[in-house]
Amino acid sequence: MLIIDGKKVSLDLKEELKTGVETYRKATGKVPGLTVIIVGHDPASQVYVRNKAKTCKEIGMFSTVIEMPSDTTQAELLEKIQELNNDPAVHGILVQQPLPKQIDEFAVTIAIDPAKDVDGFHPENLGRLVMGELDKCFVSCTPYGILELLGRYNIETKGKHCVVVGRSNIVGKPMANLMLQKSDATNCTVTICHSATKNIPHYTLQADILIAAIGKAGFITADMVKPGAVVIDVGINRIEDPSTKSGYRLVGDVDFEGVSAIASAMTPVPGGVGPMTIAMLLKNTLHSFQRINGL
């Protein structure tokens, strides 16, 4: 069974992006800039935001983090976003979720200039993805990272049946729409399953490519997988494990041990899809820089 090594691919990709950033810096004197806004003090969000800023700096991009207090009003946040929309040094804007209760996430998503929406959450970007305008939109980083992994491992997709379990706006829906596109890298027949789907194994057993984005540890077991399938595990779940120093460990939505005995290729958790998400955020930021500067 082939392990699809997202950690390695993300490192290769970051090296390529670093070279790209340096080339543009020499040619134009400018570098791509990503600004992340964090509202409140959620500890997990602070770790994610720090990692994003650190990785930006590693590849030579300009990165700023704007920290706003937890009692920030929606109007204050929207004003800050507007400032960044108008700032020519900022090519990517990201507002870390979750947001405090007084702020409507959708209002924030649509306030970001679609041309700087490197998360790919804006309806214009999602709409362009659905319409197949991939070179004119930003694709949500996790599905985009999965596509990159499939491409780099030469996984055949044309005419294959791809089953996506999960229909969130940030993973399941864009993933399914991506795999449906008429292109050499996709062109799948696509089925989407969710919590109201009856008899999920009936669908997953037909999958040549099975993508699990559910958020339930070990949900996909070996008896739900067709022998030889390619299995992509998006889930990140914390489970108790007294044998570890922290008392917990991270597992995916797929029972790795059971499924790895019958799949032809699989992403591990950790080290599969996860590391690709930040790398694709930087790739989107570089694309934004190229588009804004006509490069």
> Of 157 and 277, which CB lies nearer to ligand NDP in the complex structure?
277
Closest C-alpha to 259, from 216, 223, 217, 211: 223
128 annotated as ligand-binding? no
Give the nearest distance from C-beta 98 to ligand NDP in angstroms.
Answer: 11
Residue 205: what residue type? L
Residue nearest to ligand NDP (CB): 168
> Of 31 and 163, which CB lies nearer to ligand NDP in the complex structure?
163
CA 193 to chain CA mean position, Å: 19
Give the nearest distance from C-beta 100 to ligand NDP in angstroms.
Answer: 19
Give the nearest distance from C-beta 225 to ligand NDP in angstroms.
Answer: 15
The Cα diameter of the chain in Å comes to 57
> Which among 52, 80, 173, 283 is annotated as catalytic?
52
> Of 96 and 142, which CB lies nearer to ligand NDP in the complex structure?
142
Q: Which residues bind ligand NDP (CB under 6 A)?
A: 142, 165-168, 170-172, 193-197, 200, 213-216, 234-237, 273-274, 277
Give the nearest distance from C-beta 58 to ligand NDP in angstroms.
Answer: 18
Residue 282's SS3 state is helix
Give the nearest distance from C-beta 29 to ligand NDP in angstroms.
Answer: 34
> Of 38 and 176, which CB lies nearer to ligand NDP in the complex structure?
176
> Which among 14, 96, 173, 233 is annotated as catalytic?
96
Structure tokens given for 231 = 């299995």
The answer to whether 209 and 157 are in contact (CB under 8 A) is yes
Active site residue 52: yes
Closest C-alpha to 263, from 216, 213, 236, 223: 223
Active site residue 101: no
166 annotated as ligand-binding? yes
Torsion (CA) 82, 87, 90, 94 in degrees, nearest 10: -10
Structure tokens given for 146 = 């999965």
112's CB contacts (< 8 A; 6+ apart) are 81, 85, 93, 95, 121, 122
167 annotated as ligand-binding? yes
Please state, as a whole number, how many other Cβ atoms lie within 10 Å of the Cβ of residue 257. Answer: 9
State which H helix or E strand residue 233 sits in.
Answer: strand 230-233
> Which among 117, 119, 208, 233 is annotated as catalytic?
119
Active site residue 18: no
152 annotated as ligand-binding? no
Active site (catalytic) residues: 52, 96, 119
Binding-site entries: 166-168, 236
Binding-site entries for NADP(+): 166-168, 236
